[in-house]
């Protein structure tokens, strides 16, 4: 989904860094911003001589110990193999969750809009979503989280920092989001990626290019509100039906349904890897997902979408490259 009112400015805190992907070393840099003062500037890479990483999921239910920052250990648990879907409990602290919710409240929540495989439209029951949303930016906590996402996914920091703002979504009793894709399908061939295109972002002007999603639960939900993947690990050529899309009626038929838990992250790939280029390939049809009905209480989530372009456009920078506090 995409809003036409995304903020044009954002904090971008840069420090010299390097990521090793296979045999290639990828240099990235950050601008150091403390309070409102810019201390120094440095250039982002002019070429991206690396392949996008792809985490091999292992067996469903398997766990891998990972260290995302010094002294703190997390576990990455495989929930599905096709597409790879992982959960990471405790990815955010309670304080970080609270800060993000406060930012969203301050910015002002509004009815969500949807763009991607379906038309952009105001959300209501007929359009498949009942929720409110806000895009947030700024603050050292979000920068710290983006560093953590880079460590979790292996995505070089320059791509993580050039990705679109964080979308915060709030669902109340009865709120839901029927099954959808986070990224655009192959029907948009020839159109530029939205994160490399100036506003307005509409289906006629650009396509969503979101290589992967890191969704984080910002609170504990009293009941309901699972994130469901209704066609994950399907082992045949399936056809999407109402059973897959209407999560109000068919949530618990999904082979994967993640229970909300404050601070837990869910990560998955929205696209296949293009084996020839090592960059973003076609839309992963099994990445279809949605939010089941919230039965009691509120549900708050934050969507961190990692943008990547087609191989021919990989060295073009994002419109979000320059961000200020």
pLDDT at 323: 55
- Average model confidence (pLDDT) for the chain? 82
Q: Beta-carbon neighbour count of residue 101 at 10 Å?
A: 19
| Confidence (pTM) | 0.83
The predicted-structure confidence for 62-109, as pLDDT tens digits, reads as follows 999 999 988 889 999 999 999 999 999 999 999 999 999 999 999 999
With cut-offs at 50, 70 and 90, classify the pLDDT of residue 113. Answer: low
Q: Is the pLDDT of residue 29 over 50?
A: no
The predicted-structure confidence for 214-267, as pLDDT tens digits, reads as follows 999 999 999 999 999 999 998 877 888 888 999 999 999 999 999 999 999 999
- At 318, is the secondary structure helix, strand, or coil? coil
Token pair belonging to 150: 């880079």
Buried b (16+ CB within 10 A) or exposed e, 120-137: beebeeebbbbbbbbbbb
The whole-angstrom separation of Cα 107 and Cα 127 is 24
pLDDT at 151: 96
Q: What whole-number percentage of the chain has pLDDT above 90?
A: 68
Q: Is the pLDDT of residue 8 over 60?
A: no
DSSP strand pairing (129-130 vs 210-217):
unpaired
Residue reference for tokens 């039965």:
295
Q: What whole-number percentage of the chain has pLDDT above 70?
A: 78
Buried b (16+ CB within 10 A) or exposed e, 284-294: bbbbbbbbbbb
């Amino acid at each position: 989904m995409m809003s036409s009112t995304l903020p044009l400015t954002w904090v971008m805190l840069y420090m010299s860094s390097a990521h090793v992907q296979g045999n290639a070393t990828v240099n990235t840099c950050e601008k150091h911003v403390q309070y409102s003062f810019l201390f120094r500037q440095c250039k982002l890479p002019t070429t991206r001589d690396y392949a996008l990483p792809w985490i091999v999921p292992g067996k469903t239910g398997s766990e891998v110990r990972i260290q995302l920052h010094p002294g703190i250990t997390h576990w990455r648990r495989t929930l599905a193999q096709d597409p790879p879907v992982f959960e990471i409990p405790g990815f955010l602290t309670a304080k970080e969750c609270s800060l993000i919710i406060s930012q969203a409240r301050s910015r002002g929540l509004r009815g969500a809009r949807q763009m991607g495989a379906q038309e952009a439209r105001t959300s209501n029951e007929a359009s498949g979503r009942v929720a409110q949303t806000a895009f947030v930016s700024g603050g050292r906590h979000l920068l710290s989280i983006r560093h953590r996402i880079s460590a979790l996914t292996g995505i070089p920091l320059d791509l993580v920092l050039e990705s679109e703002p964080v979308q915060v979504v709030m669902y109340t009793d009865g709120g839901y989001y029927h099954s959808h894709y986070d990224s655009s399908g192959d029907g948009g061939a020839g159109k530029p990626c939205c994160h490399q295109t100036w506003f307005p972002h509409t289906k006629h002007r650009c396509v969503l290019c979101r290589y992967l999603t890191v969704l984080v639960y910002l609170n504990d939900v009293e009941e309901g509100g699972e994130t469901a993947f209704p066609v994950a690990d399907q082992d045949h050529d399936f056809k999407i039906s109402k059973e897959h899309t209407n999560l109000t009626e068919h949530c618990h038929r999904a082979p994967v349904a993640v229970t909300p838990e404050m601070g837990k992250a869910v990560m998955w790939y929205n696209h296949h890897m293009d084996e020839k280029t090592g960059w973003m390939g076609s839309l992963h049809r099994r990445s279809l997902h949605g939010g089941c009905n919230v039965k009691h209480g509120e549900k708050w989530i934050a969507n961190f979408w990692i943008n990547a372009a087609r191989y021919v456009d990989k060295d073009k920078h994002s419109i979000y490259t320059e961000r200020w506090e």
